Amino acid sequence: MQPVFAPLGQATPVGPSGCGQLAKLANQVIVAITIGAVSEAFILAGGGGADRAQVREALQGGFASSRILTEHGQRMVDRAFEPGGPAKFQVKDLRNALKAAEQLGLDLPITKLIHKLFDEMVNRGKADMDHSGLLTHLEELNNISFS
């Protein structure tokens, strides 16, 4: 099937049938948790008076550097939450990851927590906001407002 999939990108076998779906869910778990980590880091740094844009720039030079910090971190700094990946889809993907974990007899407590936070965000009317908008939900939980 390599020639069929070649135009779509590099195919990387990850295991027997069904493992591709698990890899996709694993990706969504990492994305969601990392968005949560960047959001909380910005809230912490900003709460102490640091400039979030400068914090983002500084962190990109260390171990915290990631594509999420680079791309979604910029969206957070710019407060540009037009959907690239709507929060409602993040909830769906995390729900599917938790179902898969349950079927495998696994407990993913961090995924459960981030799912809860995204679910709250969606239930507060932000279903179509980009998933980087989790920052706004966490700001609301901390009584932080931006004009």
Which amino acid, one-letter code, is at 7?
P
Q: Does the active-site annotation cover 92?
A: no
Counting Cβ atoms within 10 Å, is residue 6 exposed (0-12), middle (13-18) or buried (19+)? exposed
Determine contact, residues 114/94, Cβ cutoff 8 Å. Answer: yes
**In the 8-state DSSP scheme, what is residue 86?**
B
Which DSSP helix (H) or strand (E) runs through 110? helix 109-121
Determine contact, residues 77/38, Cβ cutoff 8 Å. Answer: no
Catalytic residue among 24, 99, 112, 126: 24
Cite the active site residues.
Answer: 24
